[in-house]
Amino acid sequence: MAGLDTSGSNPDVSLLYDINGLAEDSPGWFARAMEFVGEYGLLLALVLLVLWCWWGARKRGTLDDAAGSVAAVVWAPLAAAIAVLVNVPIRNFVERPRPFKDHQGLEVLVDGKNDYSFVSDHATLAMAIGVGLFVAHRKFGFAGIALAVLEGFCRVFMGVHYPTDVIGGFALGTAVTLLLSPLAMALLTPVTKAIGRSGKAARLVWAPHRGARPVATLPEQEAAGADEKGLAA
């Protein structure tokens, strides 16, 4: 399929030149820093944010609460992986070349980008994680989405994506995360609950404060009721 419009009159291209022009006017050290941040740094920050959110989710009051929270946190990186897989046929269908292949005068900060441009994998990954964190925890989600927006800006700043590549990645990451979230939670929550009731691995899901205990299962509640009746008799 023919690529998206790449003419100079396209506002997408004009915005590309405006944002990428900041790289040309920036000192060398700043451009190198943005290259690292846009290629690796922000994704690493999102991974650390997921770990931080997971660490807090383990400390919810009951096992059921913790298991649901941890399941939501686990869904964030899984959603990002699924969104990137969904992007593979999209990129091959659209076949949009990288902007520096069709436009002269761009300041390209990273080499070796010879695959197709639409949609941006980095933007897709970042926004999927950010929205996934928002589902799990609002404050972490806002931080994750802010990092994802910065990731999108960096990809255009680096000269490797059009703005619409980034917007498409944001839309794809958000759609996959939210649309599949109910199914993912239905599948992941029983798994996290089972892990939470296991041996040493239980601390991956539930690390309560001293004195807390998991919610009793129905058989346990019935047994406790029988004991109370026996004592009363």
Spatial distance between the Cα atoms of 225 and 68, rounded to a whole number of angstroms: 27
Tally of structural domains, the chain: 1
Quote the tokens at residue 121.
Answer: 């994998």
Positive/negative CA dihedral, 82, 129, 29, 116? positive
Q: For residue 74, is it within any domain?
A: yes
Residue 148 has pLDDT above 80, yes or no: yes
Spatial distance between the Cα atoms of 166 and 172, rounded to a whole number of angstroms: 10
Q: For residue 179, is it within any domain?
A: yes
Residue 224 has pLDDT above 50, yes or no: no
Residue 221 has pLDDT above 50, yes or no: no
Q: For residue 233, is it within any domain?
A: no
H runs (alpha helix) in 38-162: 42-57, 63-94, 99-102, 121-136, 138-157
Q: For residue 2, is it within any domain?
A: no
Burial class for 191, CB neighbours closer than 10 Å (0-12, 13-18, 19+): middle
Q: For residue 107, is it within any domain?
A: yes
How much is the mean pLDDT over the chain? 84
Spatial distance between the Cα atoms of 98 and 76, rounded to a whole number of angstroms: 28
Mean pLDDT of 220-230: 44
Lowest mean pLDDT among 44-53, 144-153, 198-207: 198-207
Mean pLDDT of 201-215: 66
Q: For residue 64, is it within any domain?
A: yes
Give the count of alpha carbons within 13 A of 154, CB side only: 25
Q: For residue 76, is it within any domain?
A: yes
Q: Could you tell me how far CA 222 lies from the centroid of its own chain?
A: 42
Spatial distance between the Cα atoms of 106 and 192, rounded to a whole number of angstroms: 48
* Confidence bin at 114 (pLDDT 50/70/90): confident
pLDDT at 85: 96
Q: For residue 123, is it within any domain?
A: no
Residue 187: φ, ψ to 5°: -85, -40
**Domain enclosing residue 43, as ranges:** 18-111+130-210
Burial class for 182, CB neighbours closer than 10 Å (0-12, 13-18, 19+): exposed
Can you tell me whether residue 146 is helix, strand or coil?
helix
